[in-house]
Structure 1
Amino acid sequence: MEQLINDFSPGLFIMQTIIFLVLLFIMAKFAWRPIIQSLKIREESIQDALDSAERAKEEMARLQADNAKLLDEARQERDQILKDARQVANSLKEQASADAEKQSQKMLEDARQAINTEKQAALAEVKNQVAQLSLQISEKIIRKELSDEKAQKELIEEFVKDAKLN
C-alpha cells in the first residue's frame, strides 16, 4: 500500500478521472438506454413467458379436469351400455327358452294327439276284426249246430228262455 501512495501522480489521476467521466458520458448517451431498453424488453418477454406458462398450467389443469369428467362419463355410458346389453341378452335368452318350451309342449301335445288317434284307429280296427271273427265263428257254430233239426229246436228254446229272463 505504501508503494501505491509513493507512486501516486495527481496528473495521472486527473487524466484517468477525465477519461472515466468521458467514458461514463458516452456510455450514458449511447449505451445505457439501449442496454436498459433491451433489459426491459427481456424482462417483459420473461414476464410474458411466465404468464403464458401460468396460463398454460391453468389450461392444462382445466383440460385434465375435463378429461377426467369425460372419462367418468364414458365409463358410466359404457357401464350402462353393458347393463342394457346384459338385460337384452337375458331377455332374448328367456324368450328363446320360453319359445322352445312352448314348441316342445306343442310337439308333445301333437304327438299325444297323434298317438291317441292311432290308438283309437287301432282299437277300432281290432274291434272290427274281433267282430268279424266273432261273426264268422258264430256263423260256423250256428251252421254246425243248426244242421240237425233237434239242435235247432233246442237253441230256439234256449233263446226264448233267455229272452223271458231278461
Structure 2
Amino acid sequence: MDLVNPGFGLVFWTAITFLFLIVILRKFAWKPILGAVDSREKSIQKALDSAEEAKKEMQNLKADNEKMKQEARQERDAMLKEAQQMKKQMISEAAEEAAKKSDDIIAKAQTAIENEKKAAIHELRQQVAQYSIEIAEKVLKEELKDKKAQNKLVDRELEKVKLN
C-alpha cells in the first residue's frame, strides 16, 4: 500500500469509521458539550445582565448620594444662615439692652447731679446768708459802738421812713 494512492477499501473503511465516530460523538459527546456550552453561554449572559443591573444600581446610588450631598449642603447652608441671623439678633438685642441701661444710668446720674447741685446751691445760700448776717452784725456792732453813731444811724433810718 501506498500512502499517496490509497486504495478504495482504505477510503471506504475510513469513511465508515468516521461516520460511526460522528454518530457516537453526536449521541454521547455533542449533546453534553453543546448543553455545557449553552449553559455556560446562559450563565455568562446572566452574569452580564447582573453586571448591567449592578451598574445601573450603582449609577442610581451615585445619583441618590449626590442628591443627599446636595440636600445636606443646602441644610448646612440654611443652618449657618439661621445661626448668623440669630447671632445678629442677639447682638442687636444686647446692644439695645446696653443702650437702655446706659440711658437709665445717665438719667439717674443726671438726676443725682441735679439733686446734688440743688443741695449745694441751697447750702451755699444758707452759708452766704449766715455770713451776711455775721458780717452785718459785726458792721453794726462797729458802727454802733458809740452813742453818737447810734443816734446818727437812727436819724438816717427815720428820714428814709418819712420820705417813703
TM range (shorter): 0.7 to 0.9
Q: Please point out which of 115, 118, 128 is paired with 1:117.
A: 115
Structure 1 segments (4+ residues) deviating >4 Å: 160-166
- What residue number does 1:89 align with? 87
Q: Distance in 2 between matches of 1:14 and 1:132?
A: 168
What one-letter code is carried by the residue in structure 1 that aligns with 2:92? E
Do the aligned partners of residues 75 and 36 (structure 1) sit closer, same or farther apart at CA in structure 2, a change above 3 Å counting?
Answer: same
- Offset of 1:90 from its aligned partner? 0.8
Give the TM-score taking structure 2 as reference length.
0.86
- Offset of 1:161 from its aligned partner? 4.8
Q: Please point out which of 128, 131, 142 is paired with 1:130.
A: 128
- What residue number does 1:19 align with? 17
Listed one character per residue, the Cα deviations across residues 48-77 of structure 1 (whole Å, up to 9, x for unaligned) are 111111211221222222122212211211
What one-letter code is carried by the residue in structure 1 that aligns with 2:123? E
Aligned residues: 163
Do the aligned partners of residues 133 and 34 (structure 1) sit closer, same or farther apart at CA in structure 2, a change above 3 Å counting?
Answer: same
Q: Distance in 2 between matches of 1:47 and 1:33?
A: 20
Q: Distance in 2 between matches of 1:50 and 1:158?
A: 141
Q: Distance in 2 between matches of 1:156 and 1:35?
A: 163
- Offset of 1:114 from its aligned partner? 2.2
Give the alignment of 1:1-166 within 5 angstroms: 7-162=5-160
- Offset of 1:136 from its aligned partner? 0.9
Runs (5+) with no aligned partner, structure 2: none
Runs (5+) with no aligned partner, structure 1: none
